[in-house]
Amino acid sequence: MAATTLAPPPAEDATLLDSNEMVLNMGPQHPSTHGVLRVILKLDGETVLGTDCVIGYLHRGVEKIAENRTYQQFAPYVDRMDYVAAVSNGLGYCMAIEQLLGVEIPSRAQCVRVILAELNRIASHLLWLGTHALDIGAITPVFLCFREREQVLNIFEKYCGARLTTHAFRIGGLQYETYDTFERDCLALCDLMEEKVQEYHSLLTGNRIWVRRTKGVGVLSAEDCKDYGVTGPLLRAAGEAWDLRKVRPYCGYEKYDFEVPTAESGDTFDRYIVRMKEMEQSCRIIRQAVETLPAGPIKGKVGKVIKPPPGEAYVSIEAPKGELGYYVVSDGSLKPYRLRVRPPSFVNLGALDKMCRGSLVADVVAIIGTIDIVLGEVDR
Amino acid sequence: MLEQLLDIPYVQPLVLTAAIVLVFPLVAGYIVLAERKVLADLQVRLGPMRVGPYGVLQPLADALKLMLKEDIIPSRADKWIFWLAPVLSTFTALSAFAVLPLSDRLYVADVNIGILFILAMSSIGALGLILGGWSANSKYSLMGSLRAAAQMVSYEVPLGFATVTAIMCAGTLSMQGVIRSQLERGVWGAFDNFGLMLIPTALFIIAGTAETNRAPFDLPEAESELVAGFHTEYSGFRWALFFLAEYAAIVVISSLCVTLFFGGWLRPFPNVAALEIPVNFGFPAALFALMAFGCLKGVPKQPIAGFKILMALIAGAFLLVAGAFVVPAVNELVIGLFWFCFKLAAMVYLFIWYRGTFPRFRYDQLMDVGWKWLIPISMAGLILNGVVQLLARG
């Protein structure tokens, strides 16, 4: 695999002067490859000549497992793909099966889904911000981010009992009605986040070292993004206002008034700014959703046994990391005939080599951080 | 009796040397504990809380753990150099302690080239880092040591220029002499020459941070990039030696800074006699009394009797020290040491504060900052101070 992108080893008669290229193996055990990513770097001094990703250390065959589970049984498995955004994963899966079934989801359930998905976007971005800053050497923001993320997880815990792998939604709607102080907690969290985002800005945005470490690093233009299929904050930071919540609204996102933050240069700093703004926009959506939360049933007309008619469905949503798609083929039985996931992390990681070439070793770490990958989702 | 003993040649230096070599590892351990506690405070957490009350016994536990660890030398390493590197680093860092003016009477040696000696030792100490990374025969270590080499070379120049400016201002290379000259001129080095000495002071602190490989210049051991940089392959006691060397270097550089720019063992405003009582007697006594009070308040919170007794003992010790500062005879003996350590602690706090605040520089940016900014500014500072000094003092 390494031989495909990296140049062949130097010839037999190479002198000492020719051999200043070094192949450095980074990971799978490395402090900042965000899990078990392995990157083979070809270096000239500290300059990166090329990279090659080796993945699969966390492969669990999730798509194959789906073929051996009933539709409901498989739902908890999707939480374990992008485990920092489990709610979004569950939302995409449930929507795909609901499309196969052709059921109508009650508006209250949709509204709660939006609230939880946006809360999850905040939690995911907070984790990204903390670890990204840690990679660049700022060791304090990670603790502040985890402090706020804790508040989000508390809401999840109160709602469904789980904090990380929530399994918050069921096919057809919701399992649980919201708890008594749900609305109040959500609004309190929005207040908190709007204040804390400013605190993160004061820690990092104006810091000259931070700006120098991120500006012009790992540039990916809008054209490159389209070529590689890169979506999410990376695409938006390159200037393309592509957000599935706006361009192909689902779950009633068309009812909410929010902006799609974009930037121009597509470097690491822009992606940082875009994600920071997205947290603020998520708060805006949550506020509106909580204020307009309708009363009514929380589950559509779905039978106890889920048996979709033969057919196929592809549903994609705007997960925190980009376009998360589920393609499901049903043969009319209790189990999916085939289930395929389009994970944003995996596709975005494909652009790593493009972003890294010509940069320095320290930038590779910053770039891995800025792509915001979760290896559970890359390897599935 | 005691004074007669100390008058015998070599007795005081030897006793002090033994004390430094034996006690400093413990001091380093407590600086680490302080670092962990301060960082924890910056990062909304508590830090070590389990080993002893508020984690006060943590350094002992850590030291014990490191000594009991298996000693590993990688099979492909250059065994002797691998062995030599941490020894070299620790040896040079501790040697530099010899000329530190802990107080007006407490020092191992007052050499007439004391400052030069410290700079020489810290340069050789860098060799330990380079050799350690190179001998391990690991790519991460190699990159760490290459970075260390480049960084040391680049940042020793502005550090040197800043030091030269201070020497020029003081007119001597002896550590005690520098402090005495500040006493004569009645102003700390940092504020001399109508405040122009602030330029070399700031540069010294920045370059000193880089010289000791501390954040934001911790590239040789950049954890998130190079795993642990030059000491990736070190473990157990050898690793502990590198650790000791790093903290010794911090103390030495901070001491040099305190001596050159912040009056060493002099109290603030050394020439204002009216401040003698509040600053030299009141302040230390109040400080230690406050610390004793803080410890006493923590006593009832301790879960077991042993911890309660330990906390009470610590409080008692602080109270005793506070009381000692009020006795004029004792005060005269220890006040120099108190001020030196107090300023040193402030400097070390600054180093820890940096680490909790700044992201890390990138390799090329580090070189940029060093060569394009610090060196020109330090040269300009030298010339400016020289001209002003010539005009002002004639």
> Strands across the sheet with A311-319, in order?
A311-319, A322-330, A336-342
Mutate to test the interface with A, among B151, B218, B225 (most CBs of A within 10 A): B225
The pLDDT of residue A128 is 92
Q: Is there a contact between A207 and B358 if contact means CB atoms under 8 Å apart? A: yes
pLDDT in tens, A311-363: 899 999 999 998 999 999 998 888 999 999 999 999 999 888 888 888 888 88
Predicted confidence at residue A124, as pLDDT, reads: 92
With a cut of 60, say whether residue B130 has pLDDT above it.
Answer: yes
Residues of A in contact with B221 (CB under 8 A): none
Which residues in chain A have Cβ-Cβ distances shorter than 8 Å to B362? 212-213, 360, 362-363
Partners of residue B143 in chain A, C-beta under 8 Å? 24, 46, 361
pLDDT attached to residue B1:
58
Q: What is the pLDDT of residue A15?
A: 55
Q: Which amino acid is at A265?
A: S
- Residues with Cβ within 8 Å of B192's Cβ and at least 6 positions away in sequence, in order, are B169, B182, B185
Could A24 and B224 be called an inter-chain contact, meaning their C-beta atoms sit closer than 8 Å? no
Residue A1 pLDDT more than 50? no
Q: What is the mean pLDDT of chain B?
A: 85
Tell me which residue has tokens 């157990």.
B236
CA atoms within 13 A on the CB side of B112: 1
Who among A22, A135, A362 is closest to B362 (CB)?
A362
pTM for the whole structure = 0.85
> Which amino acid appears at position A28 of this protein?
P
Flag whether pLDDT at A62 surpasses 60: yes
Residue with tokens 């083929």: A329
What average pLDDT does the segment A21-30 reach?
82
The amino acid sitting at A46 is E
Count helices and strands (H / E) in chain B.
15, 0
Task: Report the distance separating Cα A370 and Cα B326, nearest Å.
Answer: 58
How far away is chain A from the Cα of B380, in angstroms, using its nearest Cα? Answer: 24
Give contacts of A137 with chain B, Cβ < 8 Å: 215-216, 218, 222, 224, 358-361
Q: What is the pLDDT of residue A380?
A: 84
Residue partners of B305: CB distance under 8 A and separation at least 6:
none
Please state, in angstroms and rounded to a whole number, the distance separating the CA atoms of residues A232 and A249: 15
**Residue A2 has what pLDDT?**
43
The nearest CA of chain A is from the CA of B305 a distance in Å of 33
Beta bridge partners of A327: A314, A340
Closest residue of chain B to A27, computed from CA coordinates: B227
User: In this predicted structure, what is the pLDDT of residue B394?
Assistant: 67
Instruction: Output DSSP code: residue B342.
Output: H
CA distance A213 to B60: 38
Chain B residue with the nearest C-alpha to that of A33: B224
Mean pLDDT within B213-224:
77
Can you tell me whether residue A173 is helix, strand or coil? strand
Q: Which one is predicted more confidently, B61 or B282?
A: B61
Q: pLDDT at position A123, please? A: 92
Task: Work out the number of other CB atoms within 10 angstroms of the CB of residue B64.
Answer: 10
Residue A4 — pLDDT band, cuts 50, 70, 90? Answer: very low
DSSP for residue A92: H
Distance between CA atoms of residues A149 and A156, nearest Å: 11
Which of A20-24, A86-90, B168-172 is least confident? A20-24
Q: Span B24-47, mean pLDDT?
A: 89
Confidence label for B37 from pLDDT (cuts 50, 70 and 90) = very high
Q: What is the pLDDT of residues A146-174, one digit of tens each?
A: 999 999 999 999 998 888 888 888 888 88
pLDDT digits (tens, 9 = 90+) for A228-248: 989 989 999 988 888 888 888
Span B322-340, pLDDT tens digits: 888 888 887 777 888 888 8
First to last CA, chain B: 49
- Number of C-beta neighbours around residue A202 at 10 A: 10
* Average per-residue pLDDT for chain A: 87
* Mean pLDDT (whole number) for B219-229: 72
| Amino acid occupying residue B20 | I
- Centre a 10 Å sphere on the Cβ of residue A270 and count the other Cβ atoms it contains: 25
Q: What average pLDDT does the segment B56-85 reach?
A: 86
Residues 6+ apart with CB under 8 A from B90: B128, B241, B242, B244, B245, B248
For residue B71, what pLDDT band results from cuts at 50, 70 and 90? confident
**Which residues in chain A are closer than 8 Å to B215, comparing Cβ atoms?**
137, 139
Cβ atoms of A34 and A364 closer than 8 Å: no
Please state, in angstroms and as integers, the Cα–Cα distance from residue A148 to each residue in A151, A154, B43, B246, B269, following that order: 5, 10, 13, 35, 46
When pLDDT is cut at 50, 70 and 90, the band that residue A19 belongs to is: low
Report the distance separating Cα B367 and Cα B99, nearest Å.
Answer: 31
**Rounded mean pLDDT, A192-217:** 88
Whether B31 contacts B352, CB under 8 Å: no
Q: Would the pLDDT of B230 be above 80?
A: no
Comparing alpha-carbon positions, the chain A residue that sits nearest to B46 is A143
Q: Supply the pLDDT for residue A154.
A: 92
B371, pLDDT greater than 60:
yes
Chain A positions touching B141 (Cβ under 8 A) are none
pLDDT over 90 for what percent of chain A?
A: 27
Could you tell me whether strands A311-319 and A322-330 are parallel, antiparallel, or unpaired per DSSP bridges? Answer: antiparallel
Q: Rounded to whole angstroms, how far apart are CA atoms A379 and A349?
A: 11
Quote the CA–CA distance of B272 and B283 in Å, as a whole number.
16
Which residues does A contribute to its contact with B (CB < 8 Å)? Answer: 22, 24-25, 30-32, 46, 133-140, 143-144, 147, 204, 207, 209-210, 212-213, 360-365
Residue B392 CA neighbour count, 13 Å, CB half: 13
Classify residue A43 by its DSSP letter.
E
The residue among B315, B222, B96, B319 whose CA lies nearest residue A366 is B222
Choose among B385, B376, B384, B375: nearest CA to B156.
B375
- Residue found by looking up tokens 């993320």 in the block: A149
Q: Cβ contacts (< 8 Å) between A19 and chain B: which residues?
A: none
Task: Report the C-alpha gap between A367 and A358 in whole angstroms.
Answer: 12
Dump pLDDT digits (tens) for B253-305: 999 999 888 888 888 887 777 777 787 788 888 888 888 888 888 888 888 88
What count of CB pairs under 8 Å joins A to B? 84
Q: What is the pLDDT of residue A18?
A: 57
